[in-house]
Every structure is written in C-alpha cells, then in structure tokens.
Structure 1
Amino acid sequence: MKTALYLAAGAALVLSACGQKTEGAKAPSGGGGTRAQVWAAGSSTVFPFATRVAENVARSGGGKAARVESLGTGGGFKLFCGGTGSDFPDIANASRPMKKSEYDKCVAAGVTDIVEIKIGYDGIVVANDKKGPTYDLHREQLYRALAAEVPSGSGFAPNAAKTWDAVAPGLPKEAILIYGPPPTSGTRDAFTELAMEKGAESVPALAALKKANEDDFKAKSHTIRSDGVWIDSGENDNAIVQTLEKTPHSLGVFGYSFLENNMDKVKGAKIEGVAPTFETISSGAYPLSRSLFIYVKKSNVGVTPGLREFLDGFVSDAATGKGGYLQSRGLIPLPAADHDAQKAVVKDLKVMTAPAS
C-alpha cells in the first residue's frame, strides 16, 4: 500500500491507499453524487490529529484516506453547513462547540442530523522562542495588552500600550508583538473567550459594563487591536512557530499540540502561575484549557466510503484513549468514562440537540 501526500490550498492533506467498505451506493440527500473518500474540514488544531487518524485507518483497512483541510473552525462549519451531498464535507473539525447560529445555518441548508463527538482536550498556549524572556501572564494582562479599547476616565479609549512593562510592572521591557490565528479560527474564538473575556471581568469598569450590557461587554473584551500589535498569521500554526524562531522578542498563540511537538524551539508562558502541560490541561488547572470536537453528517455514514471506519478509528482506544497514538501528538485524552461515552455516541450515531447559544 502506498500513501501519497498532496498539499493544496488551505493546507489540505490527502492520503491515498486502497479499498474501504461502502455500506450503500446512494448519494447523501441533496444530490451531487458520492465521493471516493471521507472529507473533513475545519480547525487547524484538530488538523494534525485528523490527518494521523486518516493515515492509520487507511493503512489498517485500505481505501482512500480521508481528505483533511485546515480552514479554521469557523471556515469548516461554513463549508460543512453549506448543504448536503458530495460537494460539502462529511465532517467539521472544531476547536470549540458549534454555535447556535451555525447550527441554524446547517438546518436551513438541509443539514439536520448532526452527530457531535468530543475527541479530547487541548490548551491554548502563549509561547515564545526559547532564547526569549520567560513570561508569567495573568488574563487581565492579556486583555490590557490586546484589547482594541481599554477603560480611560469615564469611558474607553484606543489601547496605547506598546511594551509589556507598560501593561504591568515586572513584565519584560519588550514590545508587545503577538502572532496569532485569524477570526475564522476556533483557537482565536477560544482565546478571546478564555483569556481576554475572563481577563476583562477582573477590570472594574468592564465588570460593571457586563452587568449593564453583556453584548457591549463582549464587544469590548473580544475585539483585538488592529494597530500591528496582533498579527493574524493564517491557519498554519507551524508557521507561527517558525516566525517565533526568527523574532525571539515576539509571542505566538496556538494549540498545545504545537508546543508539545516543538519543545526544542519554543516555550510556553505560564498563565496565572500555571504552565501548560499534559497534567494541568487534563485536570483543568491551566486557565486556557478547552475541548476539541468533530461533527459528522449522520446521513453520510454508510454512503461516503470509509466514513464509518474513520469515525470508529477516531474514537478507538488506540487513537484517543489514554496512551493512544494521538497523545504523542499533543492531544489530551478524555477521562476513561467520557471516552467510553463518545464511543457510544459514534456507535449509535446519536444526533445532537440544538446549541443553547
């Protein structure tokens, strides 16, 4: 069996092999025919896990391995929810839960029976080159460094902080320069929620705003500066790691798995005294911990060749169980009982309910 790797737009990975089972010959509802392989698109954080599963499933069972694209969580949901049939992905990879607005768009396009599968945990790290300063950051400091507007007098004003020591005494006298994911990324969504929003809650003026008008509070706490302090760096987190090596004074925001696989090049900042490690993320002690998901169209199982095998492979003990091969890539496994529950979801193809928000 041969495995071929093709890099296409959006960091698509296609791994080829030979002969998986197909449980049906009809196309998914909505027309467009059927594909010869599974198609998954979305989160850059889930991307390396999904590609590894695709390769292993193809190696062990034959058939064309899943085509996996790194488009960001938002981009993946947009494509996934675009419609049914072979012109749209079977799976959306996500580094946050699906939003109600995304679910509603799915339903409006005829994508109704969606199965939500939690595959494990991840942490969002703020990292820099190993030769750079060592950081221990509080979430309030991340808000004050990166928010587009900060409290000033009785209102708000554009953020003028240029160096970390201007944000808080004791921080390095380094320019604030952070390379991070774009707005379409689930990592970006999770960072603004877990880091900046939580940090803003510690600021009296923002805490008062949250009580008075939560929508305004979210707008203030989630909007990142656009004056060159934060630089959107696409959906390729490996590119951020390479940039940090070239600019030791800068910081980068990406998933823990990329830190885990580049410990010789970069180091993760502590967040409120807690370093990002396997143990602190799995226990929830690390403040920027999150869950990772894949979403699948139930109607495509038994139609798209290899989709059932791909799902079974993803939730297998060998892949996402404790000590599984994805753990070596940086995935933090679910507790045993939760892992077994996700295996049951895949076995029964239990359809999710509409998200609350």
Structure 2
Amino acid sequence: MSYLKLAASGVALSALMATTAAARDEIRIVGSSTVFPYTQAVAEQFANMTGAPSPIVESTGTGGGMKIFCGGIGEAHPDITGASRAMKASEYKLCQENGVTDVTEALIGFDGLSIAISRSNETDWDLSLGEIFLALAAQVPVDGEWADNPYKTWNEINADLPEVEILAYGPPPTSGTRDAFVELAMHEGCKELDFVKNGGFDKAWVAENCSRMRQDGPFVEAGENDNLIVQRLEADANSMGIFGYSFLYENLDKLKGVKIEGVEPTTDTIADKSYPVSRPLYFYVKNTHRGVIPNLEEFIAEYMSDDALAVDGYLAERGLVALSDDARTTLQDTVLNGKSMDALN
C-alpha cells in the first residue's frame, strides 16, 4: 500500500472515529434487489444467534447502492452494498473521491437471470436469445433496415409461439439485473440475428444499437421490488417477469421458469453454466467501518461462514448457487482479512 493511500486511510479513520460515541447501533446495508434476500437471511440468522440488533437492509438497486455506498465514510453512510455485477471503474472513482479508499470485494456465488411466467399459463415456453431480443428491444431489423420494434404478439416473432401480447416486467436502468440482462441476453440475442451476423457489425455497434429496451408498452420497468413483479404475473397469466433466480426459486408454487435455448433455470444448470443467462453476485465492505460500527466484523464473519455459503448452506436453500470449496476458501480469506480491492481501470 502506498504512503498516499495510508495517509488517506488514516484521515478517513480519524474522521469516522470522531463519531464513535454517537455511532449507530445497527449495521446498514444497501444495494441489489437480487442480493437483498441473501443478505436479509444472513441478517436474520445473525440477530437470532447473537441477540444483536438486526442489520438494516435496503433494496436500492445495484447502481443506487453504489452511489450511496461511495458517498463517504462515517455513520451517515452504509457499511456494505450488495451488487448483481462487479463495481464499475466510474463507481470506484467516486468512492476514491469521497474518501472510501479501502474496500473489500466479495463474490459470494452465482445467480441466473430468470424469465418467469405464472404456473397457470399452460404453454411450455422455450425462447431463444434472438427471440427475446426481438420481443423486447427498442429497435430490430425490419425488411432489411434497423427500425423501431413493430412486434406486438409472440407469434409475430415465431409462428410456433402463442398468439398472445408481449408483456414483460423488468428492472429499471439503475439495477444491476438490468445491466446483466442487457449484456447477457439482449446483446447475445442481437448477435444471433442474421441481420447482425451477416452485416459484419462489431461489438461496439452491438453495444450502441442493441442495448435499449422498448418503451412502447411490451416492456415495463417495474422498479426494484421484485415481489411486485411476482404479484403482476399472478394477476396476468400471459405476462412475464425478469429477475434473479432467487425470486423464482422462492415462488415456484406460483411461477415457472421460461426455458432459454432449451435449458430451464435451476441451481444445477446455473452452476454448470448450461443455462445461458447467469452472472456472479457480490457485496462490498467499507473496511474503515470495521471495528467502529458495532457488530460489523461479527456480521461479516457470519456471512462468510460455511453455514451460509457452502453448497448445503442456508443461502443455497434460498437459491444462491454456491462457489466451489476452493473458491469459497479464497473468498473467506479475502473478506475476513479485509483485503482491499485493486484499482479499476
């Protein structure tokens, strides 16, 4: 660690310790709606085991959580943020600018980006990434031209699909789930189209032209509360929802997963990477708050325990796809010892 970083960390620690007498009793956590149920489960387990105040866990979305987390140090700022993607270089820069210079990154496991539909829908849905793109993208190929999306029903995209209106509820732009869905489903689906494959378009063209979700009705931004999407799917048997696998897993009595490229989202298909839309999940710890915010170290230890993270742990029971034993051991060493993440370029 450089002298400048040590000096900056010292100033930050002094500023935080000045508030110790009035430090809040509760750990404060923000971030991803996908990571939220896992962190909430650890918070409940921690409070039950220790009798300490239960950490306050807020579902703010990945982007919103990063902005709040990187806002500064001290009791007015959260200790941990969950993320359904890795921290961006711009977010790392914001942290550095606001004195949040010592952060540990924890990759806790994996998740599938599920498209789900009500169990009362009788269709055995199986969509290609290309069909998903054609249904939900703002612009698509139309008669050899790149144009506004004209498709209103699924059978207009593929005659073998039902003649029902396209309606999908999904996350807003501030969500890491949205970022991941655009990258893993929309971009890859765009690349499957003959118009793109035969046109010789490169990655930059795809990123510029295949990232926008349509805003004319078939795709609806449903906010950061995935439980609201579940309620809407129950109310309309033909509508679909886009969220992390944990929400599908917790609602399998009401919902079923839509197959993508012939593969159903399950813990096994996400773990073996046969399910094509999967991603890593993270949380980030503000190390300057360790030893100052009461119980933070103990809460982190519970989150890193084998009871929580192992393949038979209580987070796996809630849908988290666990790391390998070796990867989990490396993670535990990194997080429990507060190893600072490297600069992002």
- Which TM-score applies when normalising by structure 2? 0.91
**Residue number in structure 1 paired with 2:156:** 166
1:31 offset after TM fit, Å?
6.1
**Residue number in structure 2 paired with 1:239:** 228
1:153 offset after TM fit, Å?
4.9
Gap change, CA 1:26 and 1:144, over 3 Å in 2: same
Gap change, CA 1:249 and 1:295, over 3 Å in 2: same
**Residue number in structure 2 paired with 1:138:** 128
Q: Aligned pair 1:182/2:172, yes or no? A: yes
Distance in 1 (alpha carbons) for counterparts of 2:200 and 2:58? 37
Kept in 1, the 8 Å contact 2:191–2:206? The answer is: no
1:208 offset after TM fit, Å?
6.6
Q: Aligned pair 1:28/2:9, yes or no? A: no
**Residue number in structure 1 paired with 2:3:** none
**Residue number in structure 1 paired with 2:335:** 346
Letter of the aligned partner of 2:169 in structure 1?
Answer: Y
1:68 offset after TM fit, Å?
0.3
Gap change, CA 1:173 and 1:36, over 3 Å in 2: same
**Residue number in structure 2 paired with 1:20:** none
1:62 offset after TM fit, Å?
2.6
Range that drifts further, 44-53 or 26-35: 26-35
1:152 offset after TM fit, Å?
3.3
Letter of the aligned partner of 2:133 in structure 1?
Answer: Y
The structure in which a higher percent of residues are helix is 2
Gap change, CA 1:93 and 1:324, over 3 Å in 2: same
The share of aligned pairs that are identical, in percent, is: 45
How many residue pairs match? The answer is 331
Letter of the aligned partner of 1:188 in structure 2?
Answer: R
Deviations along 1:59-102, whole A, 9 cap, x unmatched?
Answer: 21232121100011111001001111111111110111111111
Deviations along 1:272-325, whole A, 9 cap, x unmatched?
Answer: 011001100111111111111100111111111111111111111001111111
- Could you tell me which of 178, 191, 201 is aligned with 2:181? 191
Q: Secondary structure at the match of 2:141?
A: strand
- Listed as ranges, the matches of 1:147-162 within 5 Å are 147-153=137-143, 155-162=145-152
Structure 2, unaligned runs of 5 or more? 1-12
Distance in 2 (alpha carbons) for counterparts of 1:278 and 1:98? 25
**Residue number in structure 2 paired with 1:222:** 211
Letter of the aligned partner of 1:28 in structure 2?
Answer: L
Kept in 1, the 8 Å contact 2:72–2:100? The answer is: yes
Letter of the aligned partner of 2:23 in structure 1?
Answer: T
Deviations along 1:167-190, whole A, 9 cap, x unmatched?
Answer: 123112111000111111111111
**Residue number in structure 2 paired with 1:329:** 318
Q: Secondary structure at the match of 1:332?
A: coil
Kept in 2, the 8 Å contact 1:209–1:216? The answer is: no
Gap change, CA 1:162 and 1:340, over 3 Å in 2: same
Deviations along 1:174-214, whole A, 9 cap, x unmatched?
Answer: 110001111111111111111011111112443477745x4
**Residue number in structure 1 paired with 2:268:** 279
Letter of the aligned partner of 2:290 in structure 1?
Answer: V
**Residue number in structure 1 paired with 2:6:** none
Distance in 1 (alpha carbons) for counterparts of 2:30 and 2:237? 32
**Residue number in structure 1 paired with 2:105:** 116
Distance in 1 (alpha carbons) for counterparts of 2:16 and 2:195? 52
1:114 offset after TM fit, Å?
1.0
Gap change, CA 1:135 and 1:29, over 3 Å in 2: farther
**Residue number in structure 1 paired with 2:192:** 202
**Residue number in structure 1 paired with 2:277:** 288
Distance in 1 (alpha carbons) for counterparts of 2:313 and 2:199? 45
Kept in 1, the 8 Å contact 2:17–2:292? The answer is: no
RMSD of Structure 2 on Structure 1 (CA): 1.9
Distance in 2 (alpha carbons) for counterparts of 1:219 and 1:278? 33
Distance in 1 (alpha carbons) for counterparts of 2:99 and 2:106? 20
1:341 offset after TM fit, Å?
0.9
